[in-house]
Amino acid sequence: MARVASRTSATASQSVTEFQDKVYALLLQIPKGRVTTYGAIARALHTSPRAVGNALRNNPFAPEVPCHRCVGSTGFITGFDGESIDKKSFKRSNDGLVQGAAHQSRPRGPKISPAQPAGTKLSLKIQILHDEGVLIDNKGMVMNRKKVLWDGPWDVNAPKYSN
């Protein structure tokens, strides 16, 4: 059974499944200045990293529910708001903008935001993480992984985010 998102925004009419709610509740447990992986959340919920990624891609509560704190198992920055950059072509310009072969997944429901230049959304994710103390190198990898990578303990019975 789906719930309606409680946040007032352009996406608040999106429905949130029980599974998405569980993923969002775990994201809220990641401290500022730390990141986790799709796989870590998947292990806590006994599901696949891809299912976690799909829940994050459709997160109507960002940035309050910090999907930006989730990275790939290798420490690669992966996607943000449905945008991903091919790891082999990923690079950052001197002004910090992400460049490379971009892919935009199609979110469910109507597209709200206009098309932006490739790398715009990932540049925003990197800036948000930087502001929280997580640094990303020019190849899209989390720096100081051992220090910033967080893998629980997870409270899988935490209250759900949407009510």
Catalytic residue positions?
Answer: 67
SS3 for 104?
A: strand
Q: Which residues pair with 71 in a beta bridge?
A: 37
Q: Which residues make Cβ contacts (< 8 Å) with residue 61, sequence separation at least 6?
A: 5, 7, 24, 161, 162
Residue 9 one-letter amino acid: S
d(CA 137, CA 56): 23
3-state SS record for 107-154: CCCCCCCCCCCCCHHHHHHHHHHHHCCCCECCCCEECCHHHHECCCCC
Provide the 8-state DSSP code for 68.
G
